[in-house]
Amino acid sequence: MFYFFDLSKIRNSKNHTYTMVPEQTIEDVFNGVKFTWSFHSEQAEIGSSSSSKNGKNCCFKLSFANTCKEFVNSSYIPHIIKEAEIFEFKNRGKKLFTNSRSGDYWSQVCLFSHPSTFDTIAIDLVLKQEIQEDLKKFVNRSEFYNRVGKAWKRGYLLYGPPGTGKTSLIAAIANYLEYDVYDMELTSVKSNAQLRKLLISTSSKSVIVIEDIDCSIDLSSRLKKSRQEDNEDGDESTNDRSGSGVSLSGVLNFVDGLWSPCAGERLIIFTTNHKEKLDPALLRMDKHICLSYCNMESFMILARSYLKIEEHELMNEVENLLCVLEITPADVAECFMKYDEDPDMGMRNVVEELKKRLKMHNNQRDEIVQAKTEKRLPSSNRIRIPSKM
């Protein structure tokens, strides 16, 4: 049997939509029960409020055995509604928001179209799989969160040196979940009250991002602050040099306070280059993800993405160099980008960069050893260079 459909594409959607041709029937089987759907279209009367834009009344008719009426109402129709909601959600087009300069409302920047995915990000394969499994578990546990009395949200702390892919991972997570992204500029938020207002203004199924939280406002460890001179008024929420009136307690309430369950099904992601600078209270995020320097697995992902190669004669040399050197995925990508149309030159370029760094590393090590040796030698044994008169 052949079925005919009208093919269309909703604006800004990444998927095509198939619509039934009128006066056609399609069979569906759900839990062993057979259903028949038919699509009907007829010319609407002039002025009819039920007519569509093309001046026609359209409807679907569902046929089933009379004995299945209860099953249809209790199981099948809810299933169809749920599937329709999922389809609409995935085809809506993800959005990117940021908070305004006044700090108290979100502005849509554009449709979120970052190309980063879990297939392209250069991180450890085991870590990548672990993150994906954690995300799957999160989105499928609505009933669990309700049962244990917790807000349906999850907090991630991404940390590691600059250039290790923290922003790319955020984009990959948003693409993986099909969530909207709210990129918060914390320095624009004037008070804890504005922070709460922004929180309840976010939609369900969204990722709230605060990048470089250790640099945004003064949220460093209170243990370090206690060693410094207290502010004259002793107020924790005193504005820092950025002009923000947001306090540490305000951020903690944002993450895990009474307001945090609003909207539901959200990820809150903080990033930092210096995890050790954060107050211990901020480390109570649900999951900490360390993004480190390039290893051979992440290097292979980059080589496949940038140079379109799986094997090369220099791979073994690269692996040996990576065992003794630290280089970020961003630096490797920069080496590849110069020769993206010449894989051989791209590999030679990255090997040359690694050797250059190895030489600098060895020179620095030799200088340190020499300095320590000279410090231990008696002054009579040191070589003196007479000055020119």
Q: pLDDT tens digits for 62-116?
A: 888 888 888 989 999 988 888 877 776 666 678 899 988 776 789 888 887 888 9
Task: Identify which of 240, 246, 241 has the alpha carbon closest to the alpha carbon of residue 189.
Answer: 246
Tell whether the model's pLDDT for residue 298 goes beyond 90.
yes
Joined together, the tokens standing for residue 115 give 């190309």
By mean pLDDT, which of 19-23, 97-101, 144-148, 362-366 is the weakest?
19-23
| pLDDT, mean of residues 281-287 | 87
Under the banding of pLDDT at 50, 70 and 90, the label for residue 322 is: very high
Under the banding of pLDDT at 50, 70 and 90, the label for residue 55 is: low
| pLDDT, mean of residues 355-361 | 88
| pLDDT, mean of residues 380-385 | 45
* Range 145-181 burial, b when 16+ CB lie within 10 A, else e: beeeeebbbbbbbbbbeebbbbebbbbbbbbbbbbbb
- Give phi and psi for 41, each to the nearest 5: -140, 130
pLDDT of the residue at 85: 72
**Better-scored residue on pLDDT, 158 or 40:** 158
Tell whether the model's pLDDT for residue 232 goes beyond 70.
no
List the 33-43 sheet strands across, edge first: 24-30, 33-43, 56-63
Q: Which 3 state secondary structure label does DSSP give 168?
A: helix
**Residue 211, CA atoms < 13 Å, CB-side half-sphere:** 13
Tell whether the model's pLDDT for residue 192 goes beyond 60.
yes
| pLDDT, mean of residues 201-220 | 81
pLDDT of the residue at 45: 59
Find the helix packing angle between 125-139 and 166-177, rounded to 10°.
40
Residue type, 252: L
State how far the Cα of 371 lies from the Cα of 384, in Å rounded to an integer: 15
pLDDT in tens, 147-180: 888 888 899 999 999 999 999 999 999 999 989 9
Q: If phi over 0 gives left and psi between -120 and 50 gives alpha, with beta otherwise, what is residue 322?
A: alpha
pLDDT of the residue at 219: 58
**Better-scored residue on pLDDT, 150 or 270:** 270
| pLDDT, mean of residues 177-200 | 88
**Better-scored residue on pLDDT, 323 or 4:** 323
Using only C-alpha atoms, what is the Rg of the chain? 29
Query: Of 139-143, 328-332, 371-375, which one has max mean pLDDT?
Result: 328-332
Residue reference for tokens 């129709």: 77
Find the helix packing angle between 315-322 and 343-376, rounded to 10°.
30
> For strand 106-111 and strand 33-43, is the pairing parallel, antiparallel, or unpaired?
unpaired
Let me know: does 206 contact 181? Beta carbons within 8 Å.
Answer: yes
State how far the Cα of 153 lies from the Cα of 256, in Å rounded to an integer: 9
CB proximity list for 186: less than 8 A, separation 6 or greater: 210, 213, 216, 217, 244, 246, 251
Distance from the first to the final alpha carbon of the chain: 105
Q: What does the mean pLDDT of the chain come to?
A: 81
pLDDT of the residue at 238: 41
User: Quick count: other Cβ atoms within 10 Å of Cβ 98?
Assistant: 16
pLDDT of the residue at 186: 85
